[in-house]
């Protein structure tokens, strides 16, 4: 497993991170979740990403139990705060009250005294940024959080937070955006700003919610056991399930074959070619998915391959920086 530095900090993380957004506590049984975590550890993944809102807080608890007994110093555990975790008016957002209470609850569920990275899961325009950043800084000084990050923040929001972090003498080191061959909205503004401010990207959905594995075929119904075949599939994924997109994705298969990679490995390797990306987050419902995806670590894609991928995908790629996820 290759490692990369996170932002301008001294923290080193595995360039493939294990995330449990759509699996732990909801889609797979706990035994299967534990097996996937063990597989991740076996292949050298040390970085684990979760959030308090995943599966209504259950995902953090499952991850905490799965990692129990591991040497804490050998792990980087990341979580997030913002989305509602209870019925109260203060059980959401980036107020001091919610940040502090959520952090304490996350630590308890994760069975740890600190998290390596605490991330603002979205930007909260209803709370002064100074309040949010000061609350985060206090958690750092208390030793409950080592580094700070954000998720799906726009370039100007990242720049403002980075300035406050410098004033508060804490380290804002990362942004966690959606990023894949099909979704490149961070490239125009977020990546240049992050490079200037000393932040890396920790990217989610490098497989475009599974579309880039090639398992969805144009003109055919999604497999019933797939995310695309689920009745409640989100709108963002529905946008990928068009014949135009799926036809282009199938045209990537010869490229993957020539390189000796699976479609999933090609997709993960592609995001890791961006030097501002510190890690690609993968999820899994079966250990073999971990073993497959992790083979993308350390792969270098030649410039001509990157050009061919761009030519194949053409205008189905989303590049509009205004499409930064707010939902």
Catalytic annotation, residues = 54
Question: Do 6 and 147 meet the contact criterion of CB atoms below 8 Å apart?
Answer: yes
Tokens of 240: 């990928």
**To which residue do tokens 């975790």 refer?**
85
Tokens of 192: 């240049």
Tell me the CA distances in angstroms from 203 to 139, 207, 274, 300, one per residue in order.
24, 10, 11, 18
* Pairing of β 115-120 and β 145-150: parallel
Query: What is the three-class DSSP state of 44?
Result: coil
Question: Do 57 and 109 meet the contact criterion of CB atoms below 8 Å apart?
Answer: yes
DSSP string, 249-272: HHTTHHHHHHHT--HHHHHHHHHH
Residues 6 or more apart whose CB falls under 8 angstroms from that of 136 comprise 99, 118, 120, 145, 148, 170
d(CA 125, CA 135): 16
CB burial readout 7-41, b (16+ within 10 A) else e: bebebebbbbbbbbbbbbbebbeeebbbbbbebbb
d(CA 255, CA 266): 9
Longest dimension (CA), the chain: 55
- For 118, counting Cβ atoms within 10 Å of its Cβ (0-12 exposed, 13-18 middle, 19+ buried), the class is buried
**To which residue do tokens 């950043």 refer?**
133
């Amino acid at each position: 497993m290759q490692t990369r530095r996170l932002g301008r900090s001294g923290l080193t993380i595995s360039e493939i991170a294990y995330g449990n957004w759509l699996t732990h506590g909801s889609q797979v049984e706990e035994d299967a979740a534990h097996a996937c975590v063990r597989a991740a550890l076996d292949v050298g993944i040390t970085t684990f990403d979760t959030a308090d809102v995943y599966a209504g807080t259950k995902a953090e608890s499952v991850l905490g139990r799965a990692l129990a007994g591991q040497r804490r110093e050998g792990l980087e555990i990341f979580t997030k705060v913002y989305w509602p975790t209870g019925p109260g008016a203060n059980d959401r957002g980036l107020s001091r009250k919610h940040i502090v209470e959520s952090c304490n609850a996350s630590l308890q569920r994760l069975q740890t005294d600190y998290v390596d990275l605490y991330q603002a899961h979205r930007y909260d325009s209803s709370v002064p940024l100074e309040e949010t950043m000061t609350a985060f800084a206090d958690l750092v000084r208390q030793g409950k959080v080592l580094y700070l990050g954000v998720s799906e923040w726009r370039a100007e929001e990242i720049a403002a937070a980075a300035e406050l972090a410098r004033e508060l003498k804490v380290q804002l080191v990362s942004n966690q955006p959606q990023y894949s061959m099909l979704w490149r909205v961070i490239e125009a503004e977020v990546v240049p700003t992050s490079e200037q401010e000393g932040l890396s990207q920790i990217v989610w959905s490098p497989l475009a919610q599974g579309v880039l594995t090639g398992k969805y075929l144009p003109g055919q119904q999604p497999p019933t056991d797939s995310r695309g075949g689920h009745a409640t599939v989100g709108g963002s994924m529905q946008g990928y399930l068009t014949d135009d997109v799926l036809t282009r994705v199938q045209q990537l298969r010869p490229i993957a074959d020539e390189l000796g990679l699976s479609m999933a490995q090609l997709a993960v390797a592609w995001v890791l070619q961006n030097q501002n990306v510190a890690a690609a987050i993968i999820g899994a419902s079966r250990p073999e998915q971990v073993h497959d995806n992790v083979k993308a670590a350390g792969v270098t894609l030649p410039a001509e391959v990157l050009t061919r991928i761009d030519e194949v995908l053409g205008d189905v790629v989303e590049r509009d920086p205004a499409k930064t996820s707010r939902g």
